[in-house]
Amino acid sequence: MIKGVLKTWKEDRGFGFISPDDGGKDIFIHISALKGTSRRPLTGDVIHYQVARDNRGKFKAVNAYIEGVEILEDKPVNFFSTKKGTIVLIILALVAIAAAVVALNLAP
């Protein structure tokens, strides 16, 4: 892993540039390179990262983390805790209520 300091960060666009500790050119970093971090990066953060080329041949930071910032575990998402899952639960509940009403109306 390479180490550097986050020189600039554009929060509204989700990217910035790292100044490597060993000198050299600044490295582009996108928020997607910081998967699992418990907070967004701030200018001055120490970043550990690897370097890869993007689809245009430019260097970028990948597999990065912020020094001293907790990494959250990759937990599987519970479908029913998502917006779609909530809608499915509501629909299932309405179907169950409708079936109960029909059953009650058919009873002698």
pLDDT in tens, 54-96: 999 999 999 999 999 988 866 556 666 678 888 888 999 999 9
Asked whether residue 87 is assigned to any structural domain, the reply reads yes
- Separation of first and last alpha carbons in the chain: 75
Q: Which amino acid is at 56?
A: R
Query: Is residue 106 domain-resident?
Result: yes
> Residue 71 falls within a domain, yes or no?
no
Q: How much is the pLDDT for 11?
A: 95
Cα 15 to the center of its chain, rounded Å: 14
- Note whether 33 and 80 are within 8 A (CB): no
In terms of residues, how long is the chain?
Answer: 108
Regarding whether 59 and 9 lie in a shared domain, the answer is: yes
Residue-number span of the structural domain to which 18 is assigned: 2-66
Residues 93 and 42 both lie in one domain: no
Q: Is the dihedral of CA 102, 104, 105, 107 positive or negative?
A: positive
Q: Both 38 and 59 in a single domain?
A: yes
Mark whether 61 and 81 lie in a shared domain: no
| 17 within a domain of the structure (yes/no) | yes
**Whole-structure pTM value:** 0.66
| Distance separating alpha carbons of residues 14 and 90, to the nearest angstrom | 35
The predicted pLDDT at position 84 comes to 82
How many folded domains does the chain comprise?
A: 2
